[in-house]
Amino acid sequence: MTRPASPDQLDAQPAATPHSAGPGDRPAVLVTGANRGIGRAVAEELAADHHLILAGRDADALAALAAALPSAETFVAELTDYEGTAAAVAALELPTGLAGLVHSAGILVNGSVEDLSAAEWERNFAVNVTAVSELTRLLLPALRTARGTVVAVNSGSGFNAKGERGAYSASKFALRAWTDALRQEETGHGVRVSAVHPGRVDTDMQHELRAAESGAYESEKYLRPATVAAAIGFALRAPAEAVVATIDLRPRAIG
């Protein structure tokens, strides 16, 4: 676990929102997939005024990222290892609860119904849906304490399905159903739930997708991870009386 470097550094940061504080009186936010892509951009977006709990599998890379941020610690877990994830949650110190939980970890499983095995379907659903629900379940008491916000990074594929992408789309449609159900369930507990649906984003996953599509990689046409992170930041920072239920964010060049 990497803790903030010094109280002086913390004092230099902007004031925290008052309802739920992490170390140094900052609201604590756990971000999955924090090593790369959209998750990393979310960490950078929130770094100035939050305490970050950086979740990922590569302990060294996470520690290096945490050391470069003003207030951050690491949360090392393979999210489909439910016992290991529960142990990592039990080790967290969240005296004033958890102000935010951003689910950015996800995988792209490509292939037709004809080609994909049952094991590939199960891996796809385990990472993109079941692990999201299980981590949220484990953190619900802390989220309720802080009247926190859950943000699920969904996709345009959570609205529209295409051939060869059925498994991924099915998992993102399921994630949309999960998000809507959780929002209803948690309204009475003060926890709000947001879904952010980006179109193509310039990350490693997009490289994988373009390779599967045998298409040119046109990064200038895609959303930047920082743009998606700003939308996620908007959902997390929404005024207390509001919930940003859904953001459908598309690259202008593609529509």
Ligand X SMILES: NC(=O)c1ccc[n+]([C@@H]2O[C@H](COP(=O)([O-])OP(=O)(O)OC[C@H]3O[C@@H](n4cnc5c(N)ncnc54)[C@H](OP(=O)(O)O)[C@@H]3O)[C@@H](O)[C@H]2O)c1
Closest CA to 190 of 141, 127, 255, 253: 141
Least separation in angstroms between CB 243 and ligand X: 21
Asked whether the beta carbons of 140 and 182 are under 8 A apart, the reply is: no
Check binding of 36 to ligand X (CB under 6 A): yes
Using rule CB under 6 A, residue 200 touches ligand X: yes
Cα 182 from chain centre: 16
| Cα 98 to Cα 47, 52, 54, 59, 254, distances in angstroms | 15, 10, 13, 22, 36
| CB nearer to ligand X: pick between 77 and 146 | 77
Residue among 82, 168, 217, 222 flagged as catalytic: 168
Q: Which span (20-28, 88-96, 114-122, 199-207) binds ligand X, by CB under 6 A?
A: 199-207
Residue 167 burial by Cβ neighbours in a 10 Å radius (0-12, 13-18, 19+):
buried
Query: Is 222 in the active site?
Result: no
| Residues in a beta bridge with 76 | 56
Of 30, 38, 109, 150, the one binding ligand X (CB under 6 A) is 38
Query: Segment near ligand X (CB under 6 A), from 2-10, 28-36, 86-94, 229-237?
Result: 28-36
User: Closest by alpha carbon to 78, among 62, 93, 67?
Assistant: 62
Rule CB under 6 A: is residue 230 a binding residue for ligand X?
no
Given 56, 70, 100, 233, the residue binding ligand X (CB under 6 A): 56
Q: What residues numbered 73-112 form the site for ligand X, per CB under 6 A?
A: 78-80, 104-107
Minimum CB distance to ligand X, residue 120 (Å): 14
Q: Which amino acid is at 92?
A: L
Mark 135-174 with x for binding to ligand X (rule: CB under 6 A) and - for no binding.
------------------x-x-------------------
What is the closest distance, in whole angstroms, from the C-beta atom of residue 58 to ligand X in the complex? 5
Name which of 126, 221, 220 is nearest 171 in CA terms.
Answer: 126
Q: Which of 209, 138, 140, 137 shows the shortest CA–CA distance to 168?
A: 209
In the chain, the amino acid numbered 25 is D
Minimum distance, C-beta of residue 221 to ligand X, in the bound complex (Å): 11
Q: Kindly list the catalytic residues.
A: 168
Site for ligand X, rule CB under 6 A: 33, 35-39, 56-58, 78-80, 104-107, 127, 153, 155, 198, 200-201, 203-206
